[in-house]
Chains A and B, each alone.
Chain A
Amino acid sequence: MAEPLLDIQGLKTWFKTDDGLVRAVDGVDLRIDRGETVGVVGESGCGKTVTARSVLKLIDMPPGRFEAGRILWQGRDLIPLDDAEMNKIRSREIAIIFQEPMTSLNPVYSVGEQIAEVIELHQNLSRKQALVGAADMLKLVNIPNPERRVHDYPHQFSGGMRQRVMIAMALSCQPKLLIADEPTTALDVTIQAQILELMQEMKERFGMAIMLITHAMGVVAETAQRVVVMYAGKVVEEAPVGALFGDPRHPYTQGLIRSIPRVDRSAGQQARLESIPGTVPSLLDPPPGCRFAARCKYAMEICTQAIPPLKEVAPGHRVACVL
């Protein structure tokens, strides 16, 4: 098998807080191949965002700390790299877009300047050439009147348009991997679909891999080839998208899929939308054993004693559950 583009091995990103050590990411393994879209799903606070930001080393240190693990980017570990080395990778090879398009752009610079900044730096162009490049990128993400809009400021754009600007900025150096950290969560539904479609289109055009972080199972089903399910700082299940939705093995994944609202069933067939009872355990002092045990309806004695390792149940389908 070819060398993966990104290979996260046993990553532990911990935060030192006044209350103690928060184990936000506690031994995550995640692999992304070239040109592949991998969905990372889980509840809020399960460590998805911290995993994503760890890859670009955008975690504030302190309070954050890489406790263990490796982040192999095309075979090279990113963790020991200094800031200057990381800056050659940021945007040029790995780009990121965030959840909140409303706050992710600097309000005091025009969008063109903000995109041009990246182009200027990584492609060694003059400011003027970079601005032309920025307009081209705006055109690519379907912003009308790009030559004029390039001089506009973020507050003159709507949320969906700003997310398009963010995508334009992220793709301006043709990165090999785009990390999309809940890119559609803050947008309304029709815009969500447009943004996902745009990302799909860009992926086909540039052939980059996408790490799509979301808590919307529907989004994953539509766009990802492979899905990684995270719970309380750990990966609980990993499978090709078809296998995950067709044959979910982990009780948490099953719960997530059952909690997707369905319109094709009449009210009589399914009276209420199912939810997973309970809340995510504190990452300050996680219980021994499986972290989902307290909320799991199949929980057994053994579940509270040791953390079940990920084991392969079918080709490419791995689950961390004793069942």
Chain B
Amino acid sequence: MSRQYIIRRLLIAIPSLLGISLVLFTILALAPGDPFEELATNPAVPPEVRAALRAKFGLDDPVWARYLHWITAMLQGDWGFSFVSRMDVDTLILQRLPVTLIVIGSSQIIAILVALPVGVLAATRPYSLFDQVANTFAFIGFSLPTFFTGLLFILVFSIQLDWLPFVYRADIDATGWQFYWEHIKQAIMPVMVLGLFQGASLVRYVRSSVLDVIKLDYVTTARSKGIGERKVITKHVVRNALIPVVTLVALQMPIVFGGAIVTEQIFRVPGIGSLLISAMLANDTPVVMAVTFVFACLVVLFNLIADILYGWLDPRIAFR
């Protein structure tokens, strides 16, 4: 793995991020809605004040001028100011980002931890009882949208059984282990809902990928060595089968973020997904712009990680 390769990949990411920001900005500029609409209906604010505010924030400038203004400010670390929360956008995002990353990160880990063994086991015993059961659950899992399973979980675990809280709180007034335990408890349901949804489709991909690899010639070669079936699978099959799965996980990252937005709404998780939704409802353009841009950066980052993993799994891929 060469450091040069990673640096070059990061450099390539710059123009694509610029392009993404341009598209985002244009679309938001074209969208109806105005942060000062509320003031327009407020009789206490005279129209001259509104016009002065608009001029001050440059809202009447042409789109390209506003974009240039935004991007230069952004590059200098000034992410803008939220019209609604009256806070700097970057502090707002930094408050919310860790929660989202923890929820998405752990749900992805759970998805992979469930999908890998289940998919591999199912593929090594195709059409067995285990395979049938795993397939059935996988189908159920990815057929049910997260907003449905989320509500179902709340109904069962919060309301019927009263085991888990259904509102995610950021202000837990406990210390030490109690604090962490409360955090884990409230994260369980959103993480499970997202993780199982992801895991269900991953099971199908892992299974078919392993089935593809398991009948290849080199697997027969490995069997003829006498190293035992378990080692044949773990050493010779799984590593090769993982290559397409890595691509898939990376490609699904935008979908995962989309799903996280919905899930955050259901469980009232104070992450950047719910920040995005409330900002959109309030026409808080700087926040919408910044959050979508952060999402874009994360997607680009995960694709880079996937490419690096790729090269580690498959020596045929040269880092040039």
**Which residues of B have CB within 8 Å of A84?**
228
**In the complex, A96 has a CB within 8 A of chain B:** yes
The answer to whether B218 touches A153 (Cβ under 8 A) is no
**Which residues of A have CB within 8 Å of B223?**
58, 90
The answer to whether B220 touches A90 (Cβ under 8 A) is no
Query: How many Å lie between the Cα of A15 and that of B196 in the bound state?
Result: 39
The answer to whether A105 touches B225 (Cβ under 8 A) is no
**Which residues of A have CB within 8 Å of B227?**
87, 117-118, 121
Which residues of A108-149 are within 8 A (CB) of B?
Answer: 108, 110, 117-118, 121-122
**In the complex, A286 has a CB within 8 A of chain B:** no
**In the complex, B132 has a CB within 8 A of chain A:** no
* In-complex Cβ contact of B229 among A83, A98, A118 (8 A): A83
Given contacts A83-B228, A87-B228, A117-B227, contact A106 B221 (CB under 8 A): yes
The answer to whether B225 touches A91 (Cβ under 8 A) is yes
* In-complex Cβ contact of B218 among A86, A105, A121, A122 (8 A): A105
**In the complex, A34 has a CB within 8 A of chain B:** no
**Which residues of B have CB within 8 Å of A107?**
218, 240, 314-316
Residue of A nearest to B127 (CB): A62
Given contacts A153-B315, A153-B316, contact A104 B218 (CB under 8 A): yes
Interface size in chain B (residues, C-beta < 8 A):
20
Interface size in chain A (residues, C-beta < 8 A):
31
**In the complex, B226 has a CB within 8 A of chain A:** yes
Q: Mark B212-225, 1 if CB is under 8 A from A, else 0.
A: 00001110111111
Query: How many Å lie between the Cα of A88 and that of B313 in the bound state?
Result: 30
The answer to whether A108 touches B225 (Cβ under 8 A) is no
Shortest distance between the CB of A42 and any CB in chain B (Å): 21
**Which residues of B have CB within 8 Å of A118?**
225-227
Shortest distance between the CB of B213 and any CB in chain A (Å): 10
Query: How many Å lie between the Cα of A122 and that of B217 in the bound state?
Result: 22
Shortest distance between the CB of B283 and any CB in chain A (Å): 52
Q: Mark B234-254, 1 if CB is under 8 A from A, else 0.
A: 001001100000000000000
The answer to whether A108 touches B229 (Cβ under 8 A) is no
The answer to whether B220 touches A117 (Cβ under 8 A) is no
**Which residues of A have CB within 8 Å of B239?**
108
**In the complex, A70 has a CB within 8 A of chain B:** no
Shortest distance between the CB of A21 and any CB in chain B (Å): 19
The answer to whether B221 touches A104 (Cβ under 8 A) is yes
* Residue in B221, B236, B313 whose Cβ sees the most chain A Cβ within 10 Å: B221
* Residue in B226, B228, B314, B316 whose Cβ sees the most chain A Cβ within 10 Å: B226
**In the complex, A67 has a CB within 8 A of chain B:** no
* In-complex Cβ contact of B226 among A92, A105, A108 (8 A): A92
**In the complex, A6 has a CB within 8 A of chain B:** no
**In the complex, A295 has a CB within 8 A of chain B:** no
Query: How many Å lie between the Cα of A105 and that of B221 in the bound state?
Result: 7
Query: How many Å lie between the Cα of A86 and that of B220 in the bound state?
Result: 14
The answer to whether B225 touches A117 (Cβ under 8 A) is yes
**In the complex, A36 has a CB within 8 A of chain B:** no
The answer to whether B217 touches A90 (Cβ under 8 A) is no
Query: How many Å lie between the Cα of A124 and that of B225 in the bound state?
Result: 14
* In-complex Cβ contact of B217 among A56, A98, A169 (8 A): A98
Chain A to chain B contacts (Cβ below 8 Å), 6 pairs: A90-B226, A104-B220, A105-B221, A106-B221, A118-B226, A121-B225
20 more CB-based (< 8 A) A-B contacts, given A58-B223, A87-B228, A169-B225: A56-B224, A58-B220, A86-B226, A88-B226, A89-B226, A90-B225, A96-B224, A98-B220, A98-B221, A100-B217, A103-B216, A103-B218, A104-B217, A107-B218, A107-B240, A108-B239, A108-B240, A121-B225, A122-B226, A155-B316
Question: Which residues of A pack against B, CB within 8 Å?
Answer: 53, 56, 58, 83-84, 86-92, 95-96, 98, 100, 103-108, 110, 117-118, 121-122, 153, 155, 166, 169
